[in-house]
Amino acid sequence: MDRFRMIFQYFQSNSESVMNGICGLLALASVKMYTSFDFSCPCLPQYNVAYGLGIMFVPPIILFLCGLILNRQSLVMLEEWRRPAGRRKKDLAVIRYMCSSIMQRAMVAPVVWIIVTLLDGKCLICAFSGSVDPEKFVGFANVSTVQVQQLLAKVPCKDDELMKNNTSRKAVSRYLRCWSQALGWSILLILIIAAFLARWLRPCFNQATLLQARHWSNYIDIEQKIFEETCCEHSRLFAHKCILHFFESMRQEIKLHSFSLPREGEEAEGEEDLLRGITDQDQVNKLLKTWYYEKPPLDVSQAHQR
Amino acid sequence: MDKFRMIFQFFQSNQESFMNGICGIMALASTQMYSAFDFNCPCLPHYNLAYGLGILLVPPFILFLLGFVLNNNISMLAEEWRRPQGQRGKDPSVLRYMFCSMAQRAMIAPAVWLSVTLLDGKCITCAFCTSVPVETLGNASHPHLSQGEIQRVLARIPCKEIYNGQQLIANEVAVRYLRCISQALGWCFVLLMTTLAFLVRSLRPCFSQAAFLKSRYWSHYIDIERKLFDETCAEHAKSFAKVCIQQFFEGMSTDLVAARCHLSRKAPADAGEAAEKLLGITDQGTMNMALKSWHRCKPPLHLHPPALPTENGWAGEGQPPTHPSAPRREIAAYYSWV
């Protein structure tokens, strides 16, 4: 009993920290993915915007879905939401609480990706180099419209022949990067202020409801884990009884069909016990064959009737 | 029993995490394989497509099969599928559950290979370099080359050192274009896989939760039962071997006593355990004979009860063999599905 209590206390205290750990790992994974990803802007007029914005927004969606998939509590919440009411009422506040905590954790990695992307600047330079006003930059000011689009599209590619050592290219690049970093820092600041306010002001609103919702959401989580543990324990015991029953019935059958004298005074009681009356190559072969061809029924109540 | 309980709880609780661990290791192995693989585009018109698509599609297939091979449960699934019905019915939903969970785990490493390949871009660049739209990206009309010549020139795009078509289309432009397409495909593929995984995982509680709990319980049960049966058989084999060998030595010793016509000596009361363990064999000649007969004439797999005296010391046919062919009919064939 003590051991179970320790295990469940572990689960209780660590359910939150396990989820926080996964959240942190996903955030780190998103940074690593960004740094190892080989960003190569196509430098073609229509493709730039699609590529740049795609790289900025598609991986966050993937990371968000991963955050939902890897979080065990999302399954628990879905089950709680979809179960028939039965003899236990459903509390929508609990489900809302679970949903919001899951969403918050799942949003961390996408936000990290977007901020890292903006602070690095390559995506925005690639996507919006074609949209800058060419009049502001000396090298692009007096060029025909069609050509200026082509030239601006090549700005993100430093090694392109037309763009090597072009000071206007560097100017456009710096301009866009400045906007990108400003946007990145602003978003970061806004999010941190929002998180700070949410955490500080939460006790001012509905603290009692919050405590209840948190308690019951923990309860549902633990109940689910204990149910799975109990099922495992049960299936192990069931299998044990089933196999013992099987060996016992083999022994009965052998007794019925063999003509051996009843044995008395066996010296190695322990060994006999383990041998369970199977003492012959043919008997062992028969046992193994019966195990395959005729598995015993899943009914161990018969064991008590012998 | 306590020891078994701990071991089985470990297996049960860690079966999933063990399989997930193997899954993760294979995914890492596939990224490692890709980075260690020396990709060499042939830069010839028709070979490029074959090589590129081959590298893209053949290793995932191998990794998928490997995922099944490394999964211990595949033999359990096959056994459950092929066994005769006997007294226990077969539930196809359990088989489906087992197969689905194995297939899902086996699909991760191939998906990782495909994503890494597409995001890296070399395969698609190699395979589709001859299909680059020269009209929009380069100078289609500048050199008057035949179609075949153009194809040969374009095929050399991945090999920068031998590329000679700068006037036709710049190498960097073509490579950037192909890589952009490849990365877009890669991200779309990852998004698709993740969305599918999310849908599969989240739609299940909405539709078939009860059936799912049932299938999961019984598939775990089958696994545990098989392990427990193997353990019980191993235990039995150990005892069988022990008793068989004990009887062999006793038989040897009885035989020698009979052959030498010695009076049976009672072991002195204070000889203790050591004398018992000698099993009546106390000199070099006897030991040699025991070893020789163990090699030349192993005892039959038939343990006779120790109370019955046998006239021949060799473990002979002390009892008539049992008749294993009688069918069992003593229990009614109920089975209970929880």
Q: Are B331 and A249 in contact (CB under 8 A)?
A: yes
Pick the residue with more confidence: B309 or A33?
A33
Confidence of residue A4 (pLDDT cuts 50, 70, 90): low
Q: Are A61 and A114 in contact (CB under 8 A)?
A: no
- Find the angle CA(B214)-CA(B216)-CA(B218) to the nearest 5 degrees: 70
Residue A266 lies in a domain: no
Are residues A250 and A198 part of one domain?
no
A-contacting residues of B 161-180, CB under 8 Å? Answer: 170, 172-173, 176-177, 179-180
Are residues B130 and B70 part of one domain?
yes
Pick the residue with more confidence: A67 or A258?
A67
Mutation for A interface: B239, B242, B329, B330, most A CBs within 10 A: B239
Residue of A50, A78, A294 lying closest to B206 (CB–CB): A78
Amino acid identity, position A80: E
> Which structural domain, as residue segments, surrounds residue A118?
1-205
Are residues B199 and B92 part of one domain?
yes
Q: What is the pLDDT of residues B149-158, one digit of tens each?
A: 888 888 999 9
Considering only CB atoms, which chain B residues are within 8 Å of A50? 184
> What 3-state DSSP class applies to A280?
strand
Residue A267 lies in a domain: no
* Interchain contact B328–A (C-beta under 8 A): yes
Among A186, A205, A224, identify where a domain stops: A205
SS3 of A29-62: the string is HHHHHHHHCCCCCCCCHHHHHHHHHHHHHHHHHH
Q: What is the pLDDT of residues A108-140, one digit of tens each?
A: 999 999 999 999 999 999 999 988 888 888 877
Are residues B220 and B127 part of one domain?
no
* Interchain contact B72–A (C-beta under 8 A): no
pLDDT at B97 over 60: yes
Are residues A197 and A284 part of one domain?
no
Asked if B319's CB is within 8 angstroms of A258's CB, the reply is yes
Which of A18-22, A36-40, B40-44 has the weakest average pLDDT?
A: A18-22
Strand partners, A254: none
Are residues A174 and A298 part of one domain?
no
Q: How many domains, chain A?
A: 2
Residue B307 lies in a domain: no
> Which structural domain, as residue segments, surrounds residue B242?
209-262
Residue of A236, A249, A264 lying closest to B224 (CB–CB): A236
Are residues A217 and A201 part of one domain?
no
State CA B149 to chain mean position distance: 51
pLDDT over 90 percentage in chain B: 26
Are residues B94 and B234 part of one domain?
no
Are residues A191 and A42 part of one domain?
yes
Are residues B157 and B137 part of one domain?
yes
Asked if B335's CB is within 8 angstroms of A298's CB, the reply is yes
- What's the mean per-residue pLDDT of chain B? 79
pLDDT at A38 over 70: yes
Confidence of residue A185 (pLDDT cuts 50, 70, 90): very high
Residue of A59, A239, A296 lying closest to B87 (CB–CB): A296
Asked if B88's CB is within 8 angstroms of A297's CB, the reply is yes
Amino acid identity, position B16: E
C-alpha–C-alpha distance, residues B220 and B73, integer Å:
11
Are residues B40 and B77 part of one domain?
yes
**ipTM of the modeled complex:** 0.82
Are residues A248 and A121 part of one domain?
no
Amino acid identity, position A263: R
| Mean pLDDT confidence for A209-231 | 88
Tokens read off for A44: 């073609």
- Find the angle CA(B244)-CA(B249)-CA(B255) to the nearest 5 degrees: 120
Mutation for A interface: B2, B91, B125, B229, most A CBs within 10 A: B229
pLDDT of res. B271: 55
- Looking at the complex, report in whole angstroms how far the Cα of residue A200 sits from the nearest Cα belonging to chain B: 33
Residue B47 lies in a domain: yes
pLDDT of res. B9: 58
List helix spans (H) across chain A. Answer: 2-36, 45-70, 72-82, 92-120, 122-128, 138-141, 145-153, 167-201, 207-257, 269-275, 281-293
pLDDT of res. A261: 47
pLDDT of res. A9: 62
pLDDT at B324 over 60: no
Tokens read off for B116: 């890494």
Pick the residue with more confidence: A258 or B191?
B191
- Spatial neighbors of B218 by CB under 8 A, at least 6 apart, are B91, B94, B337
SS3 of chain B: the string is CHHHHHHHHHHHHHHHHHHHHHHHHHHHHHHHHHHHCCCCCCCCHHHHHHHHHHHHHHHHHHHHHHHHHCCCHHHHHHHHHHCCCCCCCCCHHHHHHHHHHHHHHHCHHHHHHHHHHHHHCHHHHHHHHHHCCHHHHCCCCCCCCCHHHHHHHHHCCCCHHHCCCCCCCCHHHHHHHHHHHHHHHHHHHHHHHHHHHHHHHHHHHHHCHHHHHHHHHHHHHHHHHHHHHHHHHHHHHHHHHHHHHHHHHHHHHHHHHHHHCCCCCCCCCCCHHHHHHCCCCCCHHHHHHHHHHHHHCCCCCECCCCCCCCCCCCCCCCCCCCCCCCCCCCCCCCCCCC
C-alpha–C-alpha distance, residues A66 and A62, integer Å:
6
Asked if A284's CB is within 8 angstroms of B83's CB, the reply is no
> φ, ψ for residue A232 (rounded to 5)?
-60, -45
Confidence of residue B6 (pLDDT cuts 50, 70, 90): low
Tokens read off for B296: 């030349």
C-alpha–C-alpha distance, residues B187 and B200, integer Å:
20
* Interchain contact B195–A (C-beta under 8 A): yes
C-alpha–C-alpha distance, residues B262 and B260, integer Å:
5
Q: Are A41 and A126 in contact (CB under 8 A)?
A: yes
Are residues B123 and B155 part of one domain?
yes
pLDDT at B216 over 80: yes
pLDDT of res. B308: 42
A-contacting residues of B 106-135, CB under 8 Å? Answer: 119-121
Asked if A83's CB is within 8 angstroms of B9's CB, the reply is no
Are residues A254 and A194 part of one domain?
no
Q: What is the pLDDT of residues A141-182, one digit of tens each?
A: 777 888 888 888 888 988 877 777 788 888 899 999 999 999
Q: Are A66 and A110 in contact (CB under 8 A)?
A: no
Confidence of residue A231 (pLDDT cuts 50, 70, 90): confident
C-alpha–C-alpha distance, residues A95 and A80, integer Å:
7
CA dihedral (A97, A98, A103, A105) positive or negative: positive
Considering only CB atoms, which chain A residues are within 8 Å of B229? 243, 291
Residue of B120, B220, B232 lying closest to A232 (CB–CB): B220
Considering only CB atoms, which chain A residues are within 8 Å of B225? 239, 242-243
Are residues B228 and B175 part of one domain?
no
Confidence of residue B188 (pLDDT cuts 50, 70, 90): very high
Tokens read off for B225: 């039962």
Distances (CA, A) of B65 to A63, A179, A295, B28, B71: 28, 49, 30, 16, 10
Are residues B69 and B155 part of one domain?
yes
Are residues B6 and B128 part of one domain?
yes
Name the nearest CA neighbour of A38 among B108, B113, B175: B175
Considering only alpha carbons, which residue of chain B is nearest residue A50?
B184
Q: Are B86 and A293 in contact (CB under 8 A)?
A: yes
* Interchain contact B202–A (C-beta under 8 A): yes
Residue of B83, B194, B303 lying closest to A62 (CB–CB): B194
Asked if B190's CB is within 8 angstroms of A62's CB, the reply is yes
Asked if A235's CB is within 8 angstroms of B221's CB, the reply is yes
Q: How many domains, chain B?
A: 2
pLDDT of res. B281: 74
* Interchain contact B250–A (C-beta under 8 A): no
